[in-house]
Amino acid sequence: MNTLVSIFENNISILELIVSPNPFSGELNVLLKNDNFGIKKAVIYDAVGKSIFEYSFSNKMEIKLNTAHLNNGFYFLKIILGNDEAVIKKIILQK
């Protein structure tokens, strides 16, 4: 299942962020559409909000996150864009 997050302004979609697959088993793909800034950072938090891992990028439109080091469960993925806006998405790891 793909997860789509959109932010709307005046009924026009200005940001599309696709996180897939979700649930995932190892590698997590993040695709950003309709944005001029790209992905600057991705942070994975555990269920209580503790930062587990942080990945930095140079404003990429598509990223792949290796999550082999994580245990089964749910996490939060925070994507920070090049303009410092952020989107947080719940992700589920099932190995």
Instruction: Give the mean model confidence (pLDDT) for residues 80-88.
Output: 89
Indicate the domain borders of the chain: 3-93
Q: Which residue has the higher pLDDT, 12 or 74?
A: 74
Q: What is the mean pLDDT of the chain?
A: 85
- Range 3-93 has CATH code 1.10.760.10: no
Dihedral in degrees, nearest 10, Cα atoms 23, 25, 28, 33: -40
Predicted TM-score (pTM) of this structure: 0.82
With vertex at residue 94, the alpha carbon angle to CA 63 and CA 69, rounded to the nearest 5 degrees, is: 60
Nearest to 5 by CA among 55, 13, 33, 16: 16
Q: What is the pLDDT at residue 85?
A: 86
